[in-house]
Structure 1
Amino acid sequence: MPIITDLLYLPPIEYFVAIQGHQEIWLDSKERYQKQTFRNRTQIRLANKVENISLPVIGGNKKVNFAEVEIDYNQKWKNIHLRGIQSAYGKAPFYEFYFPYIEDVFAKNLTKLSELNLELLTVCLKLLKLEVSVKYMEIIGEQPNVTDMRGIIHPKEGFEARNILMPTQYSQLFGSEFVPNLSIIDLLFCAGPESKEILTKSQKND
């Protein structure tokens, strides 16, 4: 059964919990860009705080097709993101195994935000060993037997407001209190091959 989702930047764990059990991810090719969403931001855990890192874009507004939104390379965001990820997870157990895959995507200097997000999503699905295909759909109306997750996972409200994630704790690098629903890279770098099982355990049952 397919699931329709937004195309997010290094999505939160909740996203991957939501797509488990689906064979296809459908993306809306005519989607409009929306500010202040996970399309251009993600959350990582540093030594003293949870940090929101965001991608600067050129001309992003609701009238623009998301596929046309460009990344602003005039700002030094890439160095900030790579240094931030290294600072947060450089000592994590599986960082050295998984980080090169993420770094390789950044090295391509992709100009479109949607292209970057899609490549990073593809890499994360591979590292999680989730057998899910991703495709763009030209026309998405109401579809029988299709789960529509568009607009559901949003940074303006916590995951507790949605019926998707029941966090399963894993060993994080910093702090004594577990922080749920960070970027999927937090789980990958900290839990490695156990990540898929943790996602399965984190599915909220009605």
Structure 2
Amino acid sequence: MNMKNVLLPAFYMPPISWFSVFLDAENEIIFEQFEHFPKQTYRNRANIYGANGKLSLIIPMNHNGKREMKDIEISYTEDWRTLHWKSIKTAYQSSPYFEYYEDKFRKIFDLKEKFLLDFNLKGLEVIQQVLKTEKAHSLNEEYIKNPDGINLREKFSAKHPSEFEMDEYYQTFSDKLGFQKDLSVLDLICNKGPESLAYIKKVKQS
């Protein structure tokens, strides 16, 4: 198998499309840690499906004047962890699998990392445990504007519709509000449980 180097941004409870790239057996994953932190992206936000539709959970930043992703600090001035966890519980407690994974997911919100990058990577560890995957990854060593391999730093937009094709699956509120595509992988896991991994592997980039 020819491995491809893929440069990925490190996200907070990433969307399904991100996981389809991350878990692709042909992709050698390198996380970008030296980029200038771009605002309004999945680096510090995750979309879930609430009772009124798509809901963005946003991690507040501690503005320390530093710009590189690895130096971005999380603000704990407000208790956003309790808030995010409450939103997730409210959104998914009636989904088929939430109860089954609740204790594992809860661990993400017990983390109190200083840096966003560390928080995202530890959160990813929890999600990998849930998915029963052990995908290896590394961090890049410097910022390269046009890196060798596949550069997906700007690929996943929190502002535009997803460019990935995925089948509809039953979501807790889809009867009322229709299918919401490419939410956080949490949405998929709470609704599809052990079938989530097979689903992720079928997701294609359009």
Shift of the 169–143 alpha-carbon distance from structure 1 to 2, 3 Å rule, reads same
Letter in 2 for 1:58: N
TM-score by length of 2: 0.88
- Tell me whether 1:115 sits opposite 2:114 in the alignment: no
Measure how far apart 1:167 and its partner are: 1.4
TM-score by length of 1: 0.88
Report which stretch shifted further, 20-29 or 135-144: 135-144
- Tell me whether 1:187 sits opposite 2:188 in the alignment: yes
- 2:109 is paired with a residue whose SS is helix
The runs of 5 or more residues in structure 2 that have no matched partner are none
Map 1:12-91 to 2 at 5 A: 12-19=15-22, 20-59=24-63, 64-91=67-94
Shift of the 154–191 alpha-carbon distance from structure 1 to 2, 3 Å rule, reads same
Report which stretch shifted further, 74-83 or 97-106: 97-106
Measure how far apart 1:22 and its partner are: 3.6
Measure how far apart 1:143 and its partner are: 5.4
- Is residue 17–residue 182 contact of structure 2 (8 Å, CA) maintained in 1? yes
Measure how far apart 1:152 and its partner are: 1.0
User: Separation in 1 of the partners of 2:174 and 2:33?
Assistant: 41
User: Separation in 2 of the partners of 1:60 and 1:157?
Assistant: 29
Aligned twin of 1:197: 198
Aligned twin of 2:137: 134
Aligned twin of 2:165: 166
Shift of the 192–169 alpha-carbon distance from structure 1 to 2, 3 Å rule, reads same
- What do you get for the CA RMSD once the two structures are aligned? 1.9
Measure how far apart 1:89 and its partner are: 0.6
Q: Deviations over 1:46-88 (max 9, x none)?
A: 1222111101111177x51111111111112111101000000
User: Separation in 2 of the partners of 1:103 and 1:38?
Assistant: 20
Aligned residues: 199
Match of 2:157 among 154, 158, 173: 154
Measure how far apart 1:186 and its partner are: 0.1
The runs of 5 or more residues in structure 1 that have no matched partner are none
User: Separation in 2 of the partners of 1:29 and 1:49?
Assistant: 32
Q: Deviations over 1:104-132 (max 9, x none)?
A: 13213112111111111122223223342
- 2:6 is paired with a residue whose SS is strand
Letter in 2 for 1:48: N
Letter in 2 for 1:5: L
- Is residue 3–residue 22 contact of structure 1 (8 Å, CA) maintained in 2? no
